[in-house]
Amino acid sequence: MHLSIKNLSKTYGNGVKALIDVNLEIPIGMFGLLGPNGAGKSTLMRTIATLQEPDTGSVTLGDIDVLKQKEEVRKILGYLPQEFGVYPKVTAEELLDHVAVLKGVINGRERRDLVQALLQKTNLYAHRKKNLGGFSGGMKQRFGIAQALISEPKLIIVDEPTAGLDPAERNRFLNLLSEIGENTVVILSTHIVDDVKELCTQMAIIHHGEVLLTGNPMDSIRGIEGKIWSKSVPKEELDSYKENFNVISERLIAGTPEIHVYSDTKPGEGFINEFSDLEDVYFSKIKQSAEAVATPQL
Ligand code: ADP
């Protein structure tokens, strides 16, 4: 099973180009789709999940034409949307049982075993009799995975799953995802660089609807080795540094700005050569793309 996306484009009625000629080959395993808010990730996820139509292009999953054989896709798809609504007055066990019926698990005993196994797998067994309305963000997300796993999906799509989770919940959730990524295509859409770095064997960076980079996260980090330079600068000089250097990111460390500059050689006095990280890959690609938009080739 392998997901192949070719020449996918989508412009919304208001003129926003959400996807521009997207081409991606997604193998079995965890695939990270990384991009800032508004990049087009949800549009792409919803299109693959058969929830909306592109203007042009094709999507195939193994032998299945995703855009035409929607029912076939839905049988083998587990989708965890960004906003996962739950019925607040129903328990985890009841709702899983209900979803299992909807997905065609009609044998009572088989269904009971399946529901128990999924509650165990997602670490929710102890909470199975609690109403979903009282679940924390992390528990809701794990419940989302439990319901997505009911029909043993071959393709799992999770859209921004760790936004709003505290660090412990996030870890638990990412561990769960990495377990299921072993024999399934799992697409993790996120703006959180560390989610991709920790979990994904392949990734794509998307911005303004365009794929800027695809590959293995570690390879892309190696690709910029030696080119990332950091410097702590006084707040009042920050703007001048941004004008004069190729600053790809800035952050405050104990109140003082630290900039990262992308450069083949030492950019100036006081710069320290840093170990490159996926965040540097991400910000350098986004910066390049912004510059290409600002100065179009004539
Ligand atoms: P992401 O998931 O990366 O945040 P989205 O796919 O949600 O990105 O959005 C991509 C772009 O398309 C954004 O500029 C967004 O405002 C716009 N957009 C998303 N959905 C719609 C819609 N239904 N109608 C019009 N514009 C939309």
Kindly report the CATH class assigned to 3-215.
alpha beta
Q: What is the pLDDT of residue 297?
A: 56
Q: Ligand 1, from 9, 10, 11, 12: best to mutate by most atoms within 8 Å of Cβ?
A: 12
Cβ–ligand 1 contact at 16 (below 6 Å): yes
Q: Whose CA is nearest to atom 10 of ligand 1?
A: 40
Size (the chain), residues: 298
Give 10-residue mean pLDDT values along the chain (298 residues). 96 97 96 95 95 97 96 90 77 93 91 95 93 89 88 88 82 85 88 91 96 96 96 96 96 94 96 96 92 69
d(CA 274, CA 229): 5
Q: What is the pLDDT of residue 68?
A: 97
pTM across the whole model: 0.89
The three-class DSSP label of residue 16 is: coil
What is the CB neighbour count within 10 angstroms for residue 40? 25
The answer to whether residues 220 and 213 touch, using CB atoms and an 8 Å cutoff, is yes
Q: What is the pLDDT of residue 296?
A: 63
d(CA 94, CA 96): 6
Q: Whose CA is nearest to atom 21 of ligand 1?
A: 12
Looking at the CA of residue 42, tell me the nearest atom of ligand 1. 2
Residue with tokens 């350098």: 284
Q: Ligand 1, from 41, 43, 157, 191: best to mutate by most atoms within 8 Å of Cβ?
A: 43
Cβ–ligand 1 contact at 35 (below 6 Å): yes
Q: DSSP letter string over 59-94?
A: EEETTEETTT-HHHHHHTEEEE-SS----TTSBHHH
Cβ–ligand 1 contact at 47 (below 6 Å): no
Q: Whose CA is nearest to atom 16 of ligand 1?
A: 38
Q: What is the pLDDT of residue 137?
A: 84
Q: What single DSSP character describes residue 35?
A: -
Looking at the CA of residue 14, tell me the nearest atom of ligand 1. 25
Alpha-carbon Rg for the chain, nearest whole angstrom, is 22
Q: Whose CA is nearest to atom 13 of ligand 1?
A: 38
Phi then psi for 215, rounded to 5 degrees? Answer: 145, -170
Looking at the CA of residue 39, tell me the nearest atom of ligand 1. 3
CA of 38 to the centre of ligand 1 (A): 6
Q: Whose CA is nearest to atom 22 of ligand 1?
A: 12
Where do the structural domains in the chain lie, given as residue ranges?
A: 3-215, 222-294
Residue with tokens 């950091």: 230
CA of 85 to the centre of ligand 1 (A): 20
Q: Whose CA is nearest to atom 12 of ligand 1?
A: 18
The answer to whether residues 177 and 145 touch, using CB atoms and an 8 Å cutoff, is yes
The three-class DSSP label of residue 280 is: helix
Cβ–ligand 1 contact at 12 (below 6 Å): yes
Q: What is the pLDDT of residue 34?
A: 97
Residue 116's Cβ-count burial label (10 Å; 0-12, 13-18, 19+) is: middle
